[in-house]
């Protein structure tokens, strides 16, 4: 019998089970899902590129160039922006619009918030009718609304023509002097209060009703519930409404352009947007008009960012 030792024979590793067909098909299924997502996003992306990115890029290119008969179209860098920041007409328009917004925005949003709180407290069937009536001015085109208020402000046949005589003076001049900016603010407030009210009302509908019930159990009145429960609960919606209103105010164009037919004090530089429009389509200064537009966009960005920054700091300090 041989005494030679043999090495033990290693057992073969067990064979791995074959991957199921569903696992092998998973990568192709994921690729199809990704392709479907791209196809869904592609139309929106094309619209954004064609109607937003390309026009903005072309406007930026215009703002960095200057056209003249002697030199033709040449690159001028930031010269148009330097001119805009030192243009007294443009700066006066910016100051006028900022003053307009400082007065008009709190008034409009205050009325909208009060209306939204009132609608939220109404539990009758007439709430839908009230919402519809409040939203109706927003459905009226801005041009028609401005023309309508232009006739209402008339010193000869408007319904307010006799107010000045009742007060012992002459007819009120809504198209000039210190009343002109207030008249424009009244038109904007009439047109946009209902829209902001519906936005705030929709935000109130998302507040849990348990918060109101807890406040009632604690003995809070209706006014205390509105100011200490409802308003803080819709702070984000209020902030969004303020930002959109600031942007819309700085783009003030339609109402003053229509009212210029009745008000001689509204000239081409009354608002920054009117000034940019006049530079482009009256004086064919397209390069300078593009620079004014981008400068106005920078002003809007600074104001909006400052409001968001202050609001976030205040929210962080609030327990």
Give the domain CATH number at 254: 1.10.3720.10
- Tell me, yes or no, whether 26 lies in a domain: no
Please give the pLDDT value at position 5. 45
Number of domains, the chain? 1
Q: Within a domain: residue 52?
A: no
What pLDDT was estimated at residue 27? 61
Asked, for residue 135, whether it belongs to a domain, the answer is yes
Q: Is 81 within 8 Å of 294 (Cβ atoms)?
A: yes
Q: What is the residue-level pLDDT of the chain in tens, covering all 319 positions?
A: 444 445 455 555 555 555 555 545 556 778 888 888 888 889 999 999 999 899 999 999 999 988 877 677 888 889 999 999 999 999 999 999 999 999 999 999 999 999 999 888 887 777 788 888 888 888 888 889 988 998 888 887 778 777 766 776 677 788 887 888 999 999 999 999 999 999 999 999 888 888 888 888 888 888 888 888 888 889 889 999 999 999 989 889 989 999 888 888 898 899 999 999 999 998 889 999 999 999 998 988 888 888 888 888 877 776 5
Q: Half-sphere exposure (CA, 13 Å, Cβ side) for 59? A: 16
140 lies in a domain? yes
Kindly report the pTM of this predicted structure: 0.80
In a domain, 213, yes or no: yes
Q: How far apart are CA 165 and CA 299, in angstroms?
A: 43
DSSP-based three-state secondary structure for 66: strand
Domain around 149: 87-283
CA-closest candidate to residue 193, choices 240, 138, 143: 138
Half-sphere exposure of 314 (CA within 13 A, CB side): 10
Max Cα-Cα span within the chain: 141
HSE on the CB side for 215, CA within 13 Å? 16
> What stretches of 122-262 show up as alpha helix (H) in DSSP?
126-139, 142-152, 163-166, 179-205, 209-217, 222-225, 231-233, 235-250, 254-259
Note the pLDDT of residue 303: 87
Is 245 a domain residue? yes
Residue 278 to residues 82, 266, 286, 298, Cα–Cα distance (Å): 19, 13, 10, 20
298 within a domain of the structure (yes/no): no
19: in domain: no
């Amino acid at each position: 019998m041989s005494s030679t030792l043999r090495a033990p024979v290693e057992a073969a590793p067990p064979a791995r089970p074959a991957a199921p067909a569903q696992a092998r098909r998973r990568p192709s299924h994921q690729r199809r899902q990704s392709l479907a997502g791209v196809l869904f996003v592609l139309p929106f992306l094309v619209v954004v590129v064609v109607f937003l990115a390309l026009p903005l890029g072309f406007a930026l290119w215009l703002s960095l160039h200057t056209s003249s008969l002697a030199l033709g179209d040449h690159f001028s860098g930031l010269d148009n922006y330097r001119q805009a920041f030192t243009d007294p007409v443009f700066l006066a328009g910016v100051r006028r619009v900022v003053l307009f917004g400082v007065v008009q925005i709190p008034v409009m949003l205050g009325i909208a918030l009060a209306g939204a709180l009132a609608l939220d407290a109404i539990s009758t069937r007439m709430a839908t009718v009230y919402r519809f009536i409040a939203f109706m001015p927003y459905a009226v085109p801005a041009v028609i609304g401005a023309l309508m208020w232009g006739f209402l402000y008339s010193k000869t046949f408007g319904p307010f023509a006799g107010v000045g005589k009742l007060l012992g003076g002459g007819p009120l001049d809504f198209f000039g002097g210190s009343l002109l900016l207030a008249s424009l603010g009244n038109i904007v407030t009439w047109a946009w209060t209902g829209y902001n009210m519906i936005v705030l009302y929709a935000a109130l509908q998302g507040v849990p009703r348990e918060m109101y019930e807890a406040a009632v159990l604690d003995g809070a009145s209706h006014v205390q519930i509105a100011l200490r429960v409802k308003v803080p609960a819709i702070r984000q919606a209020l902030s969004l409404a303020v930002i959109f209103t600031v942007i819309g105010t700085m783009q003030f164009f339609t109402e003053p352009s229509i009212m210029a037919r009745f008000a001689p004090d509204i000239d081409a530089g009354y608002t920054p947007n009117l000034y940019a429009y006049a530079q482009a389509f009256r004086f064919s200064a397209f390069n300078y008009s593009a620079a004014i537009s981008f400068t106005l966009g920078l002003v809007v960005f600074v104001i909006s960012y400052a409001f968001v920054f202050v609001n976030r700091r205040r929210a962080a300090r609030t327990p």
